[in-house]
Amino acid sequence: MSTAAEAESLIAAAKKHLKKPLFGKPNYNSAAEEYEQAAKFYTSEARRSENNQSFLESAKECWTASSAAHEKAKNGIFAARAMVALGELYHEDGVTNNRVSSFQQAGATFEKASQLYALEIKTDKQAECLGKASAAWREVLKRAGEDAALKKEAKQKTDELTEETLNTMQLSWEVDEKRPYKLPEQYRAFITQTLKDYQQTISSKEGDGIAELRTAVMAEKRMLGINTKTNQYDDSKNIFTTLKQPSNAAKCGLEIIILCLSSSKNASDAVIWADEEMNILRSVTGFAGSKEERAAGNLLSAYEDNDIERLQMALKESHEINFLAPDIARMGKKLTFAGGKVERLNVNNMSSNNNNKAVDEFGSDEDIR
């Protein structure tokens, strides 16, 4: 298709197919395909045109109509795909025009896609769409500014969708009672994308990246069988215990501490957060007593004492960092006291007030309801 006239012709044909004939039913399949072809044309034009608003609106209308027609035709997967295409279009518009409302629409659209995939029992695609919805709401959170109500809504949606994403990833294991061979790969893809978002946030200076770091830590904890609401460890939920891969559990634990310490917002709060996670990790099978636990402890100790020489020595001697996920290994090697010096706190005997401070600053997993 090369002209707007052809796209308009397809839309006219689709509308005709949706009308109920005297005998029989509307031809939803043909209408869905025609709307989809028109949507692809308008999407292509919107992406390459400077004055693209009219193309953008037409693309949105056609993707929405295509998805609705696919639903009527009982083609749930195709309906979901159309919603994904629409969500990506909203997300791109949000990035290009710094438009908060577009990110909100992207989040809602990806949620709709996840619901359609859920009806088709496509849990991997469902989780993927929920992750995209969570990422869209993180963009809203970054742009909320002084709007307290919007900031609260965006944080709540981000947390809820992240939790739902992780729950969906676990669903296939819990329902089928099979060994979760594919789960680590799914979690890793989610974490990798989240950290890409983190790097983009930091480089663009649109935020501090705390939301992304917290999301990545939540995913790591879920792999290890740590309930992200209660922080209670359940060995039967530890993917790596089930797979008999204690070394991978150890790596996850060290990755969590590196992610906590990578925050450059405030070194004292980063240490409080890392120490809180370290106390939980000490009971995790695979991490407890491992070289990774010692490496994590050395890094945390250097931060607690504001000792740059010890930090450099810990990084030099902690060869375990080299074997972590590449993105986190790079973060580990770049650890500094960028967030300022750590206050002289005895973090091993901190009061509940200090723990509450960490919750207020970073947001606790218990915020998710």
What residues does each domain of the chain span? Answer: 208-337
Residue pair 190/245 in contact (Cβ under 8 Å)? The answer is no
* Model confidence pLDDT, tens digit, residues 323-348: 999 999 999 999 987 655 555 444 34
* Model confidence pLDDT, tens digit, residues 121-155: 998 899 999 999 999 999 999 999 889 999 999 99
pTM of the predicted protein model:
0.81
Instruction: Kindly write down the DSSP assignment for every residue of 254-295, as one continuous string.
Output: HHHHHHHHT--S-HHHHHHHHHHHHHHHTTSTTTTTSHHHHH
DSSP code of residue 181: T
Q: What is the mean pLDDT of residues 282-309?
A: 95
Which amino acid, 13? A
**What is the reported pLDDT for 339?**
54
The Cα 148–Cα 143 span in angstroms is: 11
**What is the crossing angle of helices 246-261 and 326-333, to 10°?**
50
pLDDT exceeds 60 at position 1:
no
Among the residue ranges 3-12, 82-91, 339-348, the one predicted with the least confidence is 339-348
Q: How confident is the model at residue 86 (pLDDT cuts 50, 70, 90)?
A: very high
Residue pair 324/258 in contact (Cβ under 8 Å)? The answer is yes
The Cα 134–Cα 110 span in angstroms is: 9
Mean pLDDT of the chain: 88
In angstroms, the Cα distances linking 332 to 194, 218, 296, 298 are: 16, 18, 10, 13
| Structure token digits, residue 282 | 């000490």
